A and B are shown apart, each in its own frame.
Chain A
């Protein structure tokens, strides 16, 4: 029967192929997640003076870590702060990304290659280094801005004041994130068939009208996805404020939710409390991103 044999896909090979990913998934995701949930319900009990072996025991804590996390005013403040931060950063960044993507896709705009490369370049700069660079540009003694502003008779505001620091940090996010989102949108724009707006152009529609009426609706899926991922990423902001913190007292060690988690875990040595905060943040993220993707799938990807 050899000559009529049809090649059949083997049964075991695919399992061998996915085995490394499954093992890593279990070790690096599932177990840490399970361990965090477990820790979040534990606490240290100190008996006596807390001296000697056995004086500190790990005991079941119920929901007390969650309760103290939720009633911690600094955590609540950091949550509010990160929401405002995201509200400032995401619209500005995606608005600029869309504007530049449309400019790259428009006719009669020059220097498109130079513009594309320059605006994408910050993607190659690590967030910590970007924060260092902007941090120096914000320092009046080092920055070129005071001199330039002086030419126009202006003075530089304190960019690390309690009212301005959030914007200063958000600017670093805008700088670092616009290019990547621009490229994703630009790629989506190039996939729009030209015939779709050739007719509009012949009818005398302006470039702006074509952009608003045809191009932007056509790339709605790209806009929604960049939006969802940007929101998720900005809520996890850590590196920028952590890097700027040594330059100013405005940015406290628990300025943003993840800084608060770090501070609790490593400065206060309270891994249990940090675990409870992590679980709450992760749950909120999961609900938010799942909900956003669900909603956008329904609206934007209908029919697919």
Chain B
């Protein structure tokens, strides 16, 4: 595990060491009751709010306050209709915006990370290690501290309250570049590059046609990490946007709750909106499980 070496001295053998002990532990003997119970307790703690919101979204405002929390009622459909009717259907706008921000931002970020990580891993050029250190040091700059100056600068060029103001700052990801660098080192053999060059393949095509396909599993992981990061982002769009129709879900639900605090009749809508907003991510999370590879996050790539 060598996550951030600011001197960039992670060697290829470290990066590529396959720590595959996945088949080393067959079950033997009985069940350890207490450890199993502790693990299940942890699972219950983590599932509790998710289960709660699934049940609570079936309650209307009166039921939310008056019936036992974990007893489902039948108001889910009317809640969804109420939410869809709220402010002319702005909720679905938020959902769509979030998808645009998350997919667009993650795609652009993955592309930039891939090409940068590949160049850092596979070329020797002047300024390479300085560039590497500079980009990775970007991890240490708190993004939240950048949000205010970014807002002021975007305001100067008239880009605040636009889709660009949320998309552009999420493209550069030091972490994504770092992962792409590790992946390019481990997955793209030098000999392949060498022989493609001898065959006269131009560098651009060499990257796009030969290196990228080899890096695909790692790129999916980078995409997922970035997707979740943008999907979760709150401060940046909260600062940049004032037009309700451009809000992502996080900012939209926050403003809804803010209004709800003076009118608790909006609580059922907030609850239903929260429920609907986590469904896509949970589905993605469960279906794309095998790509949530923190082994590359921890600096080692299985092949």
Q: Is the CB of A142 within 8 A of B21?
A: no
B29 at the binding interface (Cβ < 8 Å): yes
Decide: A130 and B49 in contact? CB cutoff 8 A: yes
Contacts of A262 in B (CB 8 A): 148, 235, 239
Give the chain A neighbours of B198 by CB distance below 8 A: 5-7
Interface stretch, picked from B72-80, B81-89, B110-118, B212-220, is B110-118
Q: Which of the listed residues B3, B52, B135 has the most CB atoms from chain A within 10 Å of its own CB?
A: B3
Give A292 to B195 CA distance when docked, in angstroms. Answer: 43
B241 at the A/B interface (Cβ < 8 Å)? no
Q: Which residue of chain B lies nearest to A193 when distances are taken between CB atoms in the complex?
A: B21
Contacts of A6 in B (CB 8 A): 198
Q: Which residues of B have CB within 8 Å of A238?
A: 144, 234-235
B148–A14 CB distance below 8 A: no
For residue A96, which residues in chain B have a CB less than 8 angstroms away from its CB? Answer: 42
Secondary structure of the A contact surface, majority rule:
helix
**A156 close to B (CB within 8 Å):** no
Contact residue among B5, B24, B270, B292 (Cβ-Cβ distance under 8 Å from A132): B270
Interface-central residue, A121, A135, A147, A232, by most chain B CB under 10 Å? A121
Q: CA–CA, A96 to B43, complex, Å?
A: 12
**Cβ–Cβ contact A21 & B234, under 8 A:** no
A115 at the interface (CB under 8 A from B): yes
Q: Which residues of B contact A10 (CB under 8 A)?
A: 203
Residue of A nearest to B151 (CB): A265
Contact of B22 among A112, A133, A190, A192 (CB under 8 A): A190
Q: How large is the interface on A (under 10, 10 to 19, 20 to 34, 35 or more residues)?
A: 35 or more
Our pick among A7, A103, A178 for the contact of B197 (Cβ within 8 Å) is A7
Can you list 22 A-B pairs, Cβ within 8 angstroms, ordered by A? A11-B125, A14-B128, A18-B119, A20-B112, A21-B115, A28-B168, A103-B39, A120-B292, A123-B228, A124-B281, A128-B251, A129-B250, A144-B70, A183-B294, A184-B294, A187-B294, A190-B19, A193-B21, A219-B1, A225-B1, A262-B239, A275-B149
Beta-carbon contact of B278 and A187 below 8 Å: no
Cβ–Cβ contact B70 & A239, under 8 A: no
Residues of A within 8 A of B119 (CB): 13-14, 17-18
CB of B27 within 8 A of CB of A108, answer: yes
Tell me, yes or no, whether A118 is within 8 Å of chain B by CB: yes
B149, A32: Cβ atoms closer than 8 Å: yes
Q: Which residues of chain A are within 8 angstroms of B177 by Cβ–Cβ distance?
A: 21
Interface residues of B (CB under 8 A from A): 1-6, 9, 14, 17, 19, 21-22, 24-25, 27-32, 35-36, 38-40, 42-50, 52-53, 56, 64-65, 68-70, 112, 115-116, 118-120, 123-125, 128, 131, 134-135, 138, 140-142, 144-146, 148-153, 168-169, 171-172, 177, 194-195, 197-198, 203-204, 207, 228, 231-232, 234-235, 238-239, 249-251, 253-254, 257-258, 260-261, 267, 270-271, 274, 277-278, 281-282, 284-286, 289, 292, 294-295, 297-298, 300
Contacting B at CB under 8 A, from A2-38, are 5-11, 13-18, 20-22, 24-25, 27-29, 31-33, 35-36
For A147, what are the chain B residues with a Cβ–Cβ distance below 8 Å? 68-69
- What is the distance, in angstroms, from B147's C-beta to the closest C-beta of chain A? 8
Tell me, in angstroms, the Cα distance from A242 to B147 when the chains sit together: 16
Q: Shortest Cβ distance from A120 into chain B, in angstroms?
A: 8
Chain A residues with CB below 8 A from B35, complex form: 103, 106, 108-109
Are the CB atoms of B281 and A111 closer together than 8 Å? no
Q: How far is the CB of B142 from chain A (nearest CB, A)?
A: 5
Question: With A109-B36, A111-B40, A144-B70 given, can you name 9 additional A-B contacts, CB distance below 8 Å?
Answer: A9-B124, A21-B135, A108-B31, A115-B39, A121-B50, A128-B234, A132-B274, A247-B261, A282-B142
